[in-house]
């Protein structure tokens, strides 16, 4: 099949979170499976032009009352032969930040930037004389792709092209004032008909959910959860109405990047058969964070965006969060790498200044993220909701037992510890409260000190859990086939 991935992020070119990992890894797996798969991305400043090849001639994209032009650059996705196209438009993408900056978290012209991008995907295919069987769009920035396909390109060379839309995070919907609607070059009746209308504003994600031939999200549990009011972010009704077209496909782990037996970021390597290198990683991690190099104290790691989704309020909320008591009541060490909401960054730093066994780095570092996965004994991820979550899968692979809330992809990947039998690969809790995080960390720490044989067996078991992208790519292949059948029968 010919598949075009339309995404605002893909590793290694542009990343703000797991979306980038998913798009890069799925593309590689589809390429391995023999599909002709390609990616289109905006060319942000973080992608230097000098590493790219410029294609002949500009691209003309109809928007607003006129048109915008951009240049097209090309590269190849590392580790495979999939082409990656970059749309180079200085005014829209020539800046730092994918969606915004610390000061302006959602760029004011995001609806223009990403509607341009979505429309340009079609023009790119025309320019390449390559019409895909499937347009696979990801998250709200590509939300207009299925809308354009259904309502603007239905009788064009895209008439036999199917659309698949993947929800990576229902919490971000791309909601903007309807004043911007004319910019999309869609007739006003589509404001309602295409599902873009949302409390008299525009909702790009909603448009995609209503218009796409097939829908997917990144774990089976999240696919069920988003059809309930608690997790549906007010789109659960629409999702329920499309439930026969919605599937949850669990993400995989890219073992080229995340394998403790070959990880280039680690001072020592290890495997399930021989875990001795993990102790060297723990020592290096303690050194890096300025903690005493003690092999016997349980070390808990976190790598996270510091946003409400990740349960940071219950951990670090001023006065009520449980992090302070966890660190002062229990004999353990905690290291955190993350960035995000300013209040939480401040709170985390204040905590690190007060208590010696809690250490934090605010910022983004691939190397440190890998070292935390390898050097920690446990990985804490108390997410409010988690569409899939990659870090807990990395943790399992690195023999670092996850302590997670039973939600979304966390529920699908971590098996709860059973004290009587020693079964399980991690520690789960249901209710998101400071108290249950405290209790569950306490439970893990207790097992660390008192059930050493269980912990050792759980580590080995966790390391054998396979989350392969080849399996996921197979499921996406079936989803594409379903979408195509639908479009070609209609």
Q: By CB under 6 A, name the binding residues for ligand ADP.
A: 17-18, 21, 303-305, 337-339, 364-366, 369, 388-391
Residue 305: which of ligand ADP, ligand GLC, none does it interact with, CB under 5 to 8 A by kind?
Answer: ligand ADP
Query: Helix 144-151 crosses helix 204-211 at what angle (to 10 degrees)?
Result: 50
Residue numbers at the binding site for ligand GLC (CB under 6 A): 17-19, 22, 168-169, 218, 251, 386-390, 409
Nearer to ligand ADP, 204 or 390 (CB): 390
Query: How would you label 259-268 residue by residue, b for 16+ Cβ within 10 Å and e otherwise?
Result: bbeebebbbb
Supply φ then ψ for residue 192, to 5 degrees. -90, -50
Half-sphere exposure of 292 (CA within 13 A, CB side): 10
Residue 313: which of ligand GLC, ligand ADP, none does it interact with, CB under 5 to 8 A by kind?
Answer: none
Nearer to ligand ADP, 216 or 304 (CB): 304
Are the CB atoms for 380 and 401 separated by under 8 Å? no
Residue 334: which of ligand ADP, ligand GLC, none does it interact with, CB under 5 to 8 A by kind?
Answer: none
The SS3 of residue 41 is: strand
Residue 218: which of ligand ADP, ligand GLC, none does it interact with, CB under 5 to 8 A by kind?
Answer: ligand GLC
Nearer to ligand GLC, 37 or 388 (CB): 388
CA proximity to 212, closest of 134, 290, 288, 277: 134
- CA distance linking residue 324 with residue 73, whole number of Å: 50
Are the CB atoms for 486 and 269 separated by under 8 Å? no
Least distance in angstroms from the C-beta of 259 to ligand GLC: 19
Nearer to ligand ADP, 309 or 433 (CB): 309
Least distance in angstroms from the C-beta of 464 to ligand GLC: 21
Cα 348 to Cα 193, 290, 341, 369, distances in angstroms: 46, 16, 11, 17
CA proximity to 164, closest of 181, 149, 184: 149
Least distance in angstroms from the C-beta of 254 to ligand GLC: 12
Query: Helix 110-128 crosses helix 144-151 at what angle (to 10 degrees)?
Result: 50
Least distance in angstroms from the C-beta of 391 to ligand GLC: 8
Residue 473: which of ligand ADP, ligand GLC, none does it interact with, CB under 5 to 8 A by kind?
Answer: none
CA proximity to 442, closest of 393, 400, 403: 403
Least distance in angstroms from the C-beta of 17 to ligand GLC: 4
Nearer to ligand ADP, 64 or 171 (CB): 171
Question: Can you read off the two tokens belonging to residue 186?
Answer: 């869609």
Residue 391: which of ligand ADP, ligand GLC, none does it interact with, CB under 5 to 8 A by kind?
Answer: ligand ADP
Nearer to ligand ADP, 271 or 365 (CB): 365
- CA distance linking residue 185 with residue 67, whole number of Å: 10
Least distance in angstroms from the C-beta of 303 to ligand GLC: 13
The SS3 of residue 98 is: coil
Nearer to ligand ADP, 112 or 339 (CB): 339
Least distance in angstroms from the C-beta of 479 to ligand GLC: 15
């Amino acid at each position: 099949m010919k598949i075009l991935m339309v995404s605002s992020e893909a590793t290694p070119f542009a990343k703000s979170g797991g979306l980038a990992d998913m798009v890069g890894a799925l593309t590689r797996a589809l390429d391995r499976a023999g599909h002709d798969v390609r990616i289109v991305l905006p060319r942000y400043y973080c992608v230097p032009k000098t590493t790219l090849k410029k294609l002949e001639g500009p691209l003309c994209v109809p928007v607003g009352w006129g048109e915008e032009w951009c240049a097209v650059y090309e590269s190849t996705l590392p580790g495979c032969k999939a082409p990656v196209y970059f749309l180079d438009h200085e005014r829209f993408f020539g800046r730092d930040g994918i969606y915004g900056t610390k000061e302006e978290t959602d760029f004011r012209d995001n609806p223009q930037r990403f509607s341009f991008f979505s429309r340009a995907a079609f023009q790119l295919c025309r320019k390449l004389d390559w019409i895909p069987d499937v347009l696979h769009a990801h998250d709200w920035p590509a939300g207009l792709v299925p809308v354009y396909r259904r309502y603007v390109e239905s009788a064009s060379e895209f008439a036999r092209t199917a659309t698949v839309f993947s929800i990576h995070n229902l919490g971000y919907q791309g909601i903007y004032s309807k004043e911007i609607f004319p910019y999309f070059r869609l007739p006003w009746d589509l404001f309602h008909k295409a599902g873009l209308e949302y409390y008299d504003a525009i909702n790009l994600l909603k448009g995609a959910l209503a218009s796409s031939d097939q829908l997917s999200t990144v774990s089976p549990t999240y696919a069920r959860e988003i059809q309930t009011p608690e997790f549906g972010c007010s789109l659960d009704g629409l999702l329920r109405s499309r439930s026969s077209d919605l599937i949850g496909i669990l993400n995989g782990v890219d073992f080229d990047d995340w394998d403790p037996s070959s990880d280039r970021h680690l001072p020592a390597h290890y495997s399930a058969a021989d875990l001795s290198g993990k102790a060297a990683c723990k020592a290096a991690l303690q050194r890096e964070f300025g903690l005493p190099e003690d092999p016997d104290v349980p070390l808990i790691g976190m790598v996270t965006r510091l946003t409400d989704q990740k349960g940071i309020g219950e951990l670090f909320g001023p006065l009520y969060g449980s992090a302070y008591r966890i660190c002062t009541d229990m004999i353990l060490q905690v290291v955190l790498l993350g960035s995000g909401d300013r209040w939480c960054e401040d709170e985390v730093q204040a905590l690190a200044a007060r208590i010696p066994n809690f250490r934090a780095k605010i910022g983004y570092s691939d190397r440190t993220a890998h070292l935390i996965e390898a050097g920690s004994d446990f990985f804490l991820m108390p997410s409010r909701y988690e569409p899939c979550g990659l870090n807990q899968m990395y943790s399992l692979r690195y023999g670092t037992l996850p302590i997670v809330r039973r939600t979304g992809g966390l529920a699908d990947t971590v098996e709860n510890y059973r004290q009587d039998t020693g079964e399980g690969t991690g520690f789960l809790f249901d209710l998101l409260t400071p108290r249950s995080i405290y209790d569950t960390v306490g439970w893990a720490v207790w097992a660390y000190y008192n059930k050493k044989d269980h912990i050792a067996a759980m580590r080995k078991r966790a390391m054998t859990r396979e989350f392969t992208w080849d399996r996921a790519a197979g499921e996406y292949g079936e989803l594409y086939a379903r979408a195509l059948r639908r479009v070609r029968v209609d």
